[in-house]
Structure 1
Amino acid sequence: MRYGLFFGDSITYGEYDGVFGGWVDILKRYALQKYNEGSHELILFNLGIGGETTDGLVKRIPHEMAARNAAEGNIVFISYGANDLAIKEDIQMVHPEKFAANILTAIQEAKKYSDDIYLVSILPFSNNVDGVVVASGKLRTNNEVLVYNQILKKITAENSLHYVDFHSAFLDDKEILLSADGVHPNEKGYGMMAEIAIPIIEKYL
């Protein structure tokens, strides 16, 4: 038996998807179906918390990893940035340098329990919220998404990790894959994310 641990914010949690429950929940059902058909057992934990930044991740990842450690190994997905890069009351929630340091700290913790670590790209934002202060008071830009995704790519390369590029998959069709808030995917978007991620978890089934 292996565990798959998905750390992230509301997009990991599956917010705004009343149909499938988000991409991680789709993967959970898929892994269970495969197990029932005779594949290896892979238990997936959705550890997404709405609004969380990497500051929250570094506080909880040591405890979360220690509490869920499978004998046959663990797969870890780290999916952050949409809140980190947001500006609220003229202050960026987590600056790029701190974001990079937090991700590296989380990786060090994950490596104590796992050889399979995936960094997940930040999705693009809809044109109608790009550079706009929304109801939550947060301002996000697609330019910042590129900056933070570049950090994730660099860390992936330098630490021999894996990168899951949802950003490229969404870019051309983001207006039909994102929900009305322009930040979270809709059920179609979450479905596409799951389609991209299924071949990854297939390797462990």
Structure 2
Amino acid sequence: MKNTTLIYCILFMRGKAQDWPNLNKYQHENTNLEPAAAGQKRIVFMGDSITEFWTTINPEFFTGKPYVNRGISGQTTPQMLVRFRADVIALKPAAVIILAGINDIAGNTGPATLDMIKNNIFSMAELAKVNQIKVILCSVLPALDFPWKPNQNPAEKVVTLNELIKNYAAANAIVYLDYYSAMVDGRKGLLTTYSNDGVHPNKAGYQVMAPLAEEAITKVLSKK
């Protein structure tokens, strides 16, 4: 019995130490987040490194606006789904922008089918809607290959996943934000003008994304 208890405690502490969805990353910021100012409507950006790095590379997009960045580098959709309540719902935003899926295609947390990926994205959208949070679903950005995990041939998977997201958005009266069409090259990769590694936007890339995001935000906030 003592051995069993010890093993259980070790496994429990390992799991706790790992914090697989990284719930601790924004715990302090979430606790200390001030309410949105009168007349402002908070927008949460949920995603992976493409979202997280936006604040660093193109900070002026967020300055002076009720935009909250909750991207975490390397994350996949199941991780985002686990932390969705803490990092989105609890912040009581008017809307959430969900940009996710490329790390699932890369297999960052293990193999994932397109059905698995889209189901996680749709579950986040449904959680938001149930909590009276308006939803913007983003296309996954184009990618021809992954520097950290080459030879995965992601280009066609991205195209198919984007079709699934776009069709779901249309069927459920959700705003679809199409970054892909504005940033894709002739090989279905990310234009070199907009990225230094073929996956993550550089400042020029974020400057393409910014007006598209603003347009989507205006559209979603005008919806009844």
User: What RMSD, in angstroms, separates the aligned Cα atoms of the two structures?
Assistant: 2.6
Tell me how far 1:136 sits from its aligned partner. Answer: 4.7
Which residue matches 2:78?
55
Which sections of structure 1, spanning at least 5 residues, go unmatched?
A: 33-41
Tell me how far 1:188 sits from its aligned partner. Answer: 0.6
Superposed, which structure 2 residues align to 1:106-185 within 5 Å? 106-125=124-143, 130-131=144-145, 134-136=147-149, 139-172=152-185, 174-179=191-196, 181-185=197-201
Tell me how far 1:146 sits from its aligned partner. Answer: 0.4
Post-superposition CA distance 1:69-120 (Å, at most 9, x none)? 15xxx1111100110111469x63x211111211121112111333521001
Cα gap change, 1:164 to 1:26, in 2 (>3 Å): farther
Matched, 1:86 2:106: yes
Question: Structure 2: how far apart are the matches of 1:88 and 1:113?
Answer: 29
Which sections of structure 2, spanning at least 5 residues, go unmatched?
A: 1-39
Q: Give SS of 1:45's match.
A: strand
Question: Structure 1: how far apart are the matches of 2:88 and 2:148?
Answer: 34
Q: Give SS of 1:56's match.
A: helix
TM-score by length of 2: 0.70
Tell me how far 1:161 sits from its aligned partner. Answer: 0.2
Instruction: Indicate the structure with greater strand content.
Output: 1
Whichever residue aligns with residue 84 of structure 1, its letter is D
Question: Structure 2: how far apart are the matches of 1:152 and 1:66?
Answer: 21
Cα gap change, 1:140 to 1:59, in 2 (>3 Å): farther
What is the number of residues matched between the two proteins? 178
Question: Structure 1: how far apart are the matches of 2:91 and 2:57?
Answer: 22
Question: Structure 1: how far apart are the matches of 2:216 and 2:168?
Answer: 19
User: Which structure's CA Rg is the greater one?
Assistant: 2
Cα gap change, 1:107 to 1:43, in 2 (>3 Å): same
Say whether the 8 Å CA contact 2:47–2:99 is kept in structure 1.
Answer: yes
Instruction: Indicate the structure with greater helix content.
Output: 2
Tell me how far 1:138 sits from its aligned partner. Answer: 7.6
Say whether the 8 Å CA contact 2:88–2:96 is kept in structure 1.
Answer: no
Q: Give SS of 1:83's match.
A: helix
Post-superposition CA distance 1:171-199 (Å, at most 9, x none)? 147121111x2110111111111122223
Question: Structure 1: how far apart are the matches of 2:123 and 2:108?
Answer: 25
Question: Structure 1: how far apart are the matches of 2:193 and 2:170?
Answer: 31
Cα gap change, 1:88 to 1:201, in 2 (>3 Å): closer
Cα gap change, 1:66 to 1:170, in 2 (>3 Å): closer
Q: Give SS of 1:84's match.
A: helix
Question: Structure 2: how far apart are the matches of 1:95 and 1:201?
Answer: 30
Which residue matches 1:187?
203
